[in-house]
A and B are shown apart, each in its own frame.
Chain A
Amino acid sequence: MTEVLPESKSSNGTYGGALLEVDNLHVEFHTRAGVAKAVNGVTYSVNAGETLAVLGESGSGKSVTAQTIMGILDMPPGKIANGEIRFRGTDLLKLPEEERRKVRGEGIAMIFQDALSALNPVFPVGWQIAEMFRIHRGMSRADAKKKAIELMDRVRIPAAKERVSDYPHQFSGGMRQRIMIAMSIALDPEVLIADEPTTALDVTVQAQIMELLAELQRESNMGLILITHDLGVVADVADKIAVMYGGRIVENAEVHDLYRNPAHPYAKGLLESIPRVDLKGQELYAIKGMPPNLLDMPTGCAFHPRCPYRQEKCVTDVPPLHTISGTRGSACHFWREVLDGDAQ
């Protein structure tokens, strides 16, 4: 566990820090039933060419963070209570809407789980891709269409030339996700946020899409933020991981470290609950209880009601993100014990 800081891995022009940094972000939702603190001080960063996996369950705040980065969070009910999102050192949250829009698409792009609802059903897919060039680059119709076909080729849609005038519903789920990817990379973004990009797809198609994303990333040196709940996908592609629980990052780690020796009980529990061949026939390890209710968060550490390492302290004190080494961190009072592996 003596990884060197990957901060200096790439040169991002003038700015010395990471390409995209989320710094102490707090997002709340004001609902009829009360204030839900969906994101509670999240800090993470991604560099060019790097893949950050944000791992968490529903309600962990992983998608809300991404929506806030993109500036597509519904406000209200959402409200950014605190924090900064720096892209090349500029705080996006302070930018006027017009400049923000420029960053969206050209700087940071996003793909979603449900490609069908993200595409407009009444326009041909080629037209929708070309639209990006027409609006942002001021291209002519013919040039934009040519670029659209090029892009469809690049995301390996067979017979792109013939299919450019087809409508979204004429494509399969995997092909639609490719079209979404084509749209998102149209303006050569430096960061791509992929929110559960393969959750709705079959495994064989998932493998195709993940391979495509990896290839595009190699070609263009994009930073990739992969939001997922799938421990397998993370292990396959991530460089570093941020594990989220109850709106906080509970563990930050380089991918090998996390899988080899998790430092937070939640991450450890997730890894242990994966069915394994050598443990067939035995009871699976199961994290007891259930994810917290954002409207009624447990006191202290949000994970304490489910945690086998729980002590008095966990009920009262919110654990800070302890630095373990380098960029590695764990938001557990007892991370040493978790690393050593002796529960209770």
Chain B
Amino acid sequence: MSTANLPIVAEGLQRYVGSGDDQVKAVDGVDLRIEQGEVFGFLGPNGAGKSTTVRMLTTLLRPTGGSARVAGFDVVDEANEVRRNIGVALQDAAIDPLMTGAELLKLQAVLYGLPKAQHSTKAGELLERVGLTAAGDRRVGTYSGGMRRRLDLALSLIHEPSVLFLDEPTTGLDPMSRISLWEEIRRLNNDGTTVLLTTQYLEEADQLAERIAIIDNGVIVRKGRPAELKAEVGSPTLFVSVDASVTDGAKVLLEGFGDLRPSAEGTLGVGLDDGPAAVSNVVRTLDEAGIAVKNLELREPSLDDVFAEATGYRLEGADT
């Protein structure tokens, strides 16, 4: 398949840190093919390699191996062309706290080579777009976390990039700010902008991304459309809480209904081969064995199940 018209292509992308026995494979052979106009979700826990991959794709970090093209340009040999075509909002809204929002946008306009006559207009438009017009002349140090994120997004849009990288854009935001940012991302995507979004929030990936890749320990372990990935998991998962003293016995009994699946501590998870209809049988079997059930929860396959099946542990409730 030709990769010529794909805005983001990576083949065997690697980033190794250190050497010898201390060498860490932060990213180990990542392949990506992201379609034009797509929102692509890059999902994984902290330290999985998401940000390192983004830093390589955005020219901040030189790959140890492999290759990547963004907006049609090689990220190593044509780094400046890549920079001209991408917008990036990094994980920590890295904004100079001493400057005002308007000053930062104007500086960004200068650094992107926009004509001087457009600097103020563009800054005003973007401040309005992200709802920061009133705060535009205030120093960024006085902004809330949500305001900084929105300004960060505005800064990445000053030159109307065709490809946008958003590295955990909603981490640490309150629910309202998160939803507001999601709406903005959708709007940008509707305008034709390709978006690569890294996140550790399953709901975010589910809500926004047309396709996702799950990365763990520097390796992509699953890739595809969320609905297809969930369908691959198949059966729903029943989570059963029992007393710690009878956990081993409960495990043996639950294995009769399907494969045990990763679950939070104090809970057992089992994929029900016979679907939701098997719940009553599970309860009866445990009851007959004298095991008291403290709590039951049946969940249709989710991205967390996809993640758990791929990695052996769950992202939700993990130390993120």
**Is B a genuine binding partner of A?**
no
